[in-house]
């Protein structure tokens, strides 16, 4: 991109001898340049297990002057709602002065201060946590918050039990059963994902190659449209197929999600040089969003590579 920018400046200053960056390679990928060392902020987490429950994660969701946390709890045995209220109170006490932050700025701002709001999400199965499917959520707020707002009982799914504010999720059992019924062995999910990925990456690389030739000015935009448009229906089918994948267990879920993110990015290629959407953008905007999506595509591949190296 730096070379491209230099050539653009040269062309502006010397319109009689324009220069264009050439995009051509027999392999796709990204060139990395060594820069100064960067040490990312090390985000802590809280994990606690006893005979009744597991604190799976505590996510900092701080906002403004408010120190806030969202905790995900796996219950290890059937509990009544009154018993969940007792567990919620115990967990709230553990998290009142906890220190989990997304960055150094948050750490400097909130460290040593008591929490203002704590949301605690409860579920009974590991797979539910992976899918964001919860039986209920309890809310605790400090005395300096608007308790009338946070402890509102509007709606049939909200109740106060032993002084603890509950919000229940009525579809929990239906979703949990659906996940259970549609979970397949890892080998089956692996094979299906890789089958879709091979095809989608093949089409993606062809589209990127054609787009590079267009940027090289060896083909015109109309030719790019004519070549890419037929790919769109195939990529549509593959993308919809990827949205109907069976569920896997927790050991594979992050990898599957990374692939789905890649598939979504590749599908975006069909939105730009597709005759169906030609009139939505002008040429300059179309080229800009395509360039941005290509960069995102290579970033998605990088994330997948890192996951598979683990």
pLDDT in tens, 219-265: 999 999 999 999 999 999 999 999 988 888 778 888 999 999 999 99
pLDDT in tens, 58-97: 999 999 999 999 999 999 999 999 999 999 999 999 999 9
**Single pTM value for the model:** 0.65
What is residue 169's predicted lDDT score, i.e. its pLDDT? 96
Annotated domain spans of the chain: 48-180, 184-309
Give a three-class secondary structure readout of the chain: CHHHHHHHHHHHHCCCCCCCCCCCCCCCCCCCCCCCCCCCCCCCCCCEECCCEEEEEEEECCECCECEEEEEEEECCCCCHHHHHHHHHHHHHHHCCCCCCCCHHHHHHHCCCCCCEEEEEEECCHHHHHHCCCCEEEEEECCCCCHHHHCCCCCCCEEEECCEEEEECCCHHHHHHHHHHCECCHHHHHHHHHHHHHHHHHHHHHHHHHHHHHHCCCCCHHHHHHHHHHHHHHHHHHHHHHCCCCECCHHHHHHHHHHHHHHHHHHHHHHCCCHHHHHHCCHHHHHHHHHHHHHHHHHHHHHHHHHHHC
Chain-wide mean pLDDT for the chain?
Answer: 90
* pLDDT beyond 80 at 28: no
């Amino acid at each position: 991109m730096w070379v491209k920018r230099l050539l653009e400046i040269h062309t502006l200053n010397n319109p009689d001898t324009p220069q264009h960056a050439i995009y051509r390679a027999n392999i796709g990928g990204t060139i990395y340049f060594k820069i100064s060392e960067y040490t990312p902020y090390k985000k802590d987490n809280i994990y606690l297990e006893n005979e009744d429950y597991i604190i799976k994660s505590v996510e900092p969701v701080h906002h403004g002057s408010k120190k806030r946390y969202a905790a995900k709890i796996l219950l290890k045995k059937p509990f009544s709602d009154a018993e969940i209220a007792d567990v919620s109170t115990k967990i709230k006490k553990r998290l009142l002065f906890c220190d989990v932050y997304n960055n150094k700025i948050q750490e400097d701002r909130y460290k040593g201060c008591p929490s203002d709001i704590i949301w605690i999400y409860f579920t009974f199965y590991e797979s539910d946590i992976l899918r964001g499917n919860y039986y209920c959520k309890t809310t605790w707020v400090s005395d300096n918050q608007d308790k009338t707002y946070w402890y509102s009982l509007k709606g049939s799914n909200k109740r106060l039990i032993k002084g603890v504010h509950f919000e229940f999720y009525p579809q929990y059992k239906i979703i949990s059963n659906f996940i259970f019924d549609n979970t397949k062995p890892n080998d089956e999910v692996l094979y299906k994902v890789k089958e879709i990925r091979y095809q989608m990456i093949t089409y993606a690389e062809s589209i990127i190659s054609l787009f590079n030739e267009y940027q090289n000015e060896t083909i015109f935009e109309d030719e790019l449209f004519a070549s890419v448009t037929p790919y769109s229906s195939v990529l549509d089918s593959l993308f919809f197929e990827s949205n109907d994948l069976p569920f896997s267990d927790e050991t594979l879920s992050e990898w599957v999600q990374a692939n789905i993110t890649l598939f979504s990015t590749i599908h975006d290629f069909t939105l730009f040089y597709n005759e169906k959407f030609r009139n939505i953008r002008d040429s300059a905007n179309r080229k800009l969003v395509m360039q941005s999506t290509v960069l995102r595509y290579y970033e998605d591949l990088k994330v997948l590579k890192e996951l598979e190296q683990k």
